[in-house]
Amino acid sequence: MTAAMSDSSASGNIPSKPLRRVAFYSHDGFGLGHFRRCLLLASRIQEHLENVEILLITGSAKATFFKLPVRTRVAVMEPMTKDSSGEYIPRNPQIDTLTAFCRRRDKLRKEILAFDPDLLIVDHVPTGLSGELIPLLPDLKSRGTRIAIGLRDIIDESETVRKSWKKSGANLLVESLYDHIWVYGSKDVFDLGKLYHLSETTNQRIEYLGYLKRISLSKLHTDFIDSLTLRRSSQKKIVCVAGGGEDGDPLGETFLQALSSFPNKYVGTLVTGPHLNRVTARNLIDRFHQFNNIEILRFTTNLEDHLRAADVIVSMGGYNATLEAIAVRKPTIIIPRVSPRKEQWIRAQKFSQKGLINMIHPDELTSEKLIEAIETGLESPHLKTVDELGLNMDGIGNFLSRVDEILSTMIRKRKEEEDVNDTLLRA
Q: What is the pLDDT of residues 367-380, one digit of tens each?
A: 999 999 999 999 98
Number of alpha carbons in the 13 Å side-chain half-sphere of residue 196: 25
**Distance of CA 120 to CAs 3, 25, 94, 403, Å?**
18, 7, 32, 10
State the Cα–Cα distance between residues 87 and 169, nearest whole angstrom.
18
Nearest to 61 by CA among 106, 88, 28: 28
Number of alpha carbons in the 13 Å side-chain half-sphere of residue 249: 14
Q: Where are the domains of the chain?
A: 3-213+393-426, 222-379
Average pLDDT, integer, range 242-266: 91
Neighbours of 82 (CB within 10 A): 16
Question: Model pTM?
Answer: 0.89
Evaluate whether 210 touches 185 at the Cβ level (below 8 Å). Answer: yes
Evaluate whether 182 touches 342 at the Cβ level (below 8 Å). Answer: no
- Is 18's pLDDT higher than 80? no
**Distance of CA 302 to CAs 46, 74, 256, 321, Å?**
20, 21, 20, 14
- Is 9's pLDDT higher than 50? no
Amino acid identity at 357: I
- Is 15's pLDDT higher than 70? no
Average pLDDT, integer, range 214-234: 59
Q: Which segments of 19-145 are extended strands (E)?
A: 20-26, 52-58, 72-76, 80-82, 88-90, 119-123
* Residues forming a β-bridge with 3: 75
Residue positions counted in the chain? 427
Neighbours of 347 (CB within 10 A): 26
* pLDDT over 90, % of the chain: 69
Level-2 CATH architecture, domain 222-379? 3-Layer(aba) Sandwich (3.40)
- Is 426's pLDDT higher than 70? no
- Is 319's pLDDT higher than 50? yes
Average pLDDT, integer, range 150-163: 96
Task: Give pLDDT, residue 10.
Answer: 43
Task: Give pLDDT, residue 33.
Answer: 87
* pLDDT over 70, % of the chain: 87
State the Cα–Cα distance between residues 156 and 234, nearest whole angstrom.
42
- Is 344's pLDDT higher than 90? yes
Query: Are domains 3-213+393-426 and 222-379 of this chain identical in fold?
Result: yes
State the Cα–Cα distance between residues 399 and 414, nearest whole angstrom.
23
Q: What is the pLDDT of residues 52-97, one digit of tens each?
A: 999 999 999 888 888 999 999 999 999 998 777 778 889 898 999 9
- Is 313's pLDDT higher than 80? yes
Fold for domain 3-213+393-426? Rossmann fold (3.40.50)
Task: Give pLDDT, residue 324.
Answer: 92
Residue 228: pLDDT band with limits 50, 70, 90: low
